[in-house]
């Protein structure tokens, strides 16, 4: 094959390159190179890059208009810290204690919210009114796991897996679990119909009664 045929295959835009001088000495395996100009878009891109470079260097290092990587990182992290602080201010971490939960006990809205959660999640096992079914009666003065607010909260949170009580710690928020305690406190001593026989230890005094006296 002649050189001309090679050129036809490699460059259909043959007439443009025909005038171009061959770069002497650039020949590999018989393929020779022509000194064609770079495509227009490429040349434009090149000059735009060249023009942008001094803008960037001056802007970043001389006039300090463009932030460096470190500056941008620091400002973004400051922004993130602000968002975190704002979030934490709106969502205070809940320290589980008798007092913290007592703040829910006797509060109407907490009891109402707790009742809804109870109907949706707990009634299947503890009965619609807490009278007990698979799970123990929650209205009597007998408790298997203690009758302090924290005791009830802890059973709800951790469950009693080998006895069939679901752990709710990862399903319900601390506030929701506290509302459930508030609801359970509110039905204490209601002696609903079909009440299940007592299970656990008899507690003569309920912390809820102290609380009710206060309010
Ligand atoms: C799948 C059935 C089931 C569900 C659902 C369930 N429980 Fe229980 N629960 C039990 C069983 C069974 C026990 C008894 C555990 C034991 O014997 O130690 C129990 C125990 C308890 C106790 C301790 C009672 C005591 O005497 O100390 C509380 C409080 C309680 N559940 C609250 C709840 C709340 C609140 C919910 C809903 C968020 C709930 N349970 C959902 C089965 C259930």
Mutate to test the pocket of ligand 1, among 122, 140, 165, 195 (most ligand atoms within 8 A of CB): 165
What's the confidence (pLDDT) of residue 19? 67
CA distance 110 to 189: 19
- Looking at residue 1, its pLDDT comes to 41
Average pLDDT of the chain, as a whole number = 87
Report whether 136 contacts 165 (CB < 8 A): no
Domain with CATH 1.10.760.10 in the chain: 98-214
Higher pLDDT: 49 or 14? It is: 49
pLDDT digits (tens, 9 = 90+) for 79-128: 999 999 998 888 777 888 888 999 999 999 999 999 999 999 999 999 99
Q: How does pLDDT run across 145-186, given as a tens digit for each residue?
A: 999 999 999 999 999 999 999 999 999 999 999 999 999 999
Instruction: Tell me, in angstroms, the distance from the centre of ligand 1 to residue 188's CA.
Output: 15
Distance (Å, rounded) from C-alpha 137 to C-alpha 26? 94
Can you tell me the distance from the alpha carbon of 142 to that of 140, in angstroms, rounded to the nearest whole number? 6
CA of 123 to the centre of ligand 1 (A): 10
Check if the beta carbon of residue 105 is closer than 8 Å to that of residue 147: no
**Distance, CA 164 to ligand 1 centroid (Å)?**
8
CB of residue 127 inside a 6 A radius of ligand 1: no
> Ligand 1 centre from 121 Cα, in Å?
10
Give me the CATH code for the 98-214 domain, please. Answer: 1.10.760.10
Query: Model-level pTM?
Result: 0.66
Beta-strand ranges (E) seen in the chain are: 22-28, 31-34, 142-143, 201-202
pLDDT digits (tens, 9 = 90+) for 20-72: 678 877 888 888 888 888 899 999 999 999 999 999 999 988 998 889 999 99
């Amino acid at each position: 094959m002649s050189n001309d045929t090679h050129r036809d295959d490699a460059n259909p835009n043959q007439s443009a390159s025909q005038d171009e001088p061959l770069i002497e000495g650039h020949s590999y395996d018989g393929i020779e190179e022509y000194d064609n100009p770079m495509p227009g878009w490429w040349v434009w891109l090149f000059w735009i890059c060249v023009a942008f470079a001094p803008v960037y260097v001056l802007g970043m290092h001389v006039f300090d208009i463009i932030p460096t990587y470190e500056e941008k990182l620091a400002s973004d992290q400051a922004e993130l810290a602000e968002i975190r602080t704002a979030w934490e201010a709106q969502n205070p971490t809940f320290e589980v204690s008798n007092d913290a939960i007592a703040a829910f006990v006797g509060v109407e809205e907490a009891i109402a919210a707790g009742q809804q959660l109870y109907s949706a999640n707990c009634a299947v096992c503890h009965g619609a009114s807490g009278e007990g079914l698979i799970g123990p009666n929650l209205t009597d003065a007998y408790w298997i796991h203690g009758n302090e607010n924290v005791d009830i909260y802890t059973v709800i949170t951790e469950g009693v897996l080998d006895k069939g009580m679901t752990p709710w710690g990862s399903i319900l928020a601390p506030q929701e679990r506290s509302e459930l305690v508030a609801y359970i406190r509110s039905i204490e001593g209601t002696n609903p119909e079909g009440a299940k026989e007592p299970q656990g230890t008899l507690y003569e005094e309920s912390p809820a009664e102290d609380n009710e006296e206060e309010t």
